[in-house]
Amino acid sequence: MPYATVQQMIDRLGAREATALSDRAGVGTPDTAALQRALDDASAEMDGYLGRRYALPLASRAGVVLSTTPVELRTACIDIARYRMTGTEVMETEGIRARFKDATAWLQAAAEGRVQIAAGNLQLASAGNPAAVGGASAVRTPARTFGALEGML
């Protein structure tokens, strides 16, 4: 489930930029299928970060479906999708790159638990999920090879 809708992306970027990013056929309107693919890809990329800490999908909180996507997730999704769509007809700018870097840095911080998603109370990854972060570690070393020589020294 994407963290943003095509309409939210168009509203945020404006129809002109959404058209420039997606209209490969040259019809003069945003290609909603291309925008949807970009948002789906961005959401999957975000899940790669968030799945380290939170149970996926994030669409539910403690078993209850969220009615709206938290704004920071929606914004990050749009910024990542926008960045990934540049480089062909639309040139990547420093502003687009900076927003992408900010979004991925925020996702990294969320995955590490340094920032909290505004929805709060999201389920942390379960013990069976390798995504859990932090905790104690143990180190095992092999038995001593020269144990018999200890008394001679």
Q: What is the average per-residue pLDDT within 93-112?
A: 95
146 φ/ψ angles, rounded to the nearest 5 degrees? -110, 40
Higher-pLDDT residue of 38, 140: 38
Higher-pLDDT residue of 34, 129: 34
pLDDT tops 70 at residue 28: yes
**Can you give the pLDDT at residue 92?**
85
E-only strand ranges, 3-130 = 60-61, 64-65
Report the C-alpha gap between 68 and 71 in whole angstroms: 8
pLDDT tops 50 at residue 129: no
- The pTM score is 0.74
In contact, 36 and 2? CB cutoff 8 Å: yes
> How many of the other CB atoms lie within 10 Å of CB of 68?
8
Q: What is the average per-residue pLDDT within 67-95?
A: 88
74 φ/ψ angles, rounded to the nearest 5 degrees? -60, -45
In contact, 79 and 102? CB cutoff 8 Å: yes
Query: Residue 65: CB partners within 8 Å, gap ≥ 6?
Result: 59
Higher-pLDDT residue of 91, 44: 44
> How many of the other CB atoms lie within 10 Å of CB of 82?
25
Q: Which residues pair with 64 in a beta bridge?
A: 61
